[in-house]
Amino acid sequence: MTRSLGDGAGAGAADSWVPTRERLREGLRAATVPVVACSLALACLTVWASSGAAGSPPQIAAGNGRVLLPHGGSRDTAAFFDITNIGGSEDRLTEVTSPGVEETLIVRRESTALGADIVRTTGSVKVPAGGTVTMSPSGLGITTRTKQLGWQAGDLVPFVLHFRYSPSVQVFAVVVRPDS
């Protein structure tokens, strides 16, 4: 003998599957929060994408290159550049090379509480989207060793800046006296 849902057989199990107005209301209320959150996220992504910033690659330019004139018979010196990223994604400066130098290191100079300077190497430097990295003798810079002595103030030294995502950028640095 078979019984229908309404005749009392297995009433507890059968009633749990019967949709009531209260259950429908609770289900609708529970579904509203994720639907509203997804709609809001979609609207924000649409605005971001239509502004042109979504997914646009980094666009790197470099200039204002300066390299300090080595002094006292030393071949060690430092170079500095301004790096601008007008793209919509950040990039990283990973390496600096030059045919006129033996080696380069990306470094950051920091002053201690005792007034001494500490020079630390950094593996790479973040170039933020829409931002500029300005190197200087008191902060971020490139330490280098020239291949030969004989640079003069005003000489141009070619450097190539290498980035994680962007193509390499060639920039010339003017040889300047350290006190200028």
**Domain ranges, ordered by start, for the chain:** 11-50, 60-176
- Tell me: the pLDDT tens digits for 52-106? 556 689 999 999 999 999 988 889 999 999 999 999 899 999 999 999 899 999 9
Among residues 56, 100, 58, 102, the alpha carbon closest in space to that of 83 is found at 58
The CA-CA-CA angle for residues 146, 152, 153, to 5°, reads: 110
pTM of the model: 0.69
pLDDT of 147 above 80: yes
The backbone torsions φ and ψ at residue 132, rounded to the nearest 5 degrees and listed phi first, read: -130, 140
For 124, other C-beta atoms within 10 Å of its C-beta total: 14
Per CATH, is 60-176 categorized as 3.40.50.970?
no
pLDDT of 125 above 80: yes
Give the pLDDT score at 123: 85
Among residues 49, 125, 42, the alpha carbon closest in space to that of 88 is found at 49
- Which pair of structure tokens corresponds to residue 91? 């990039």
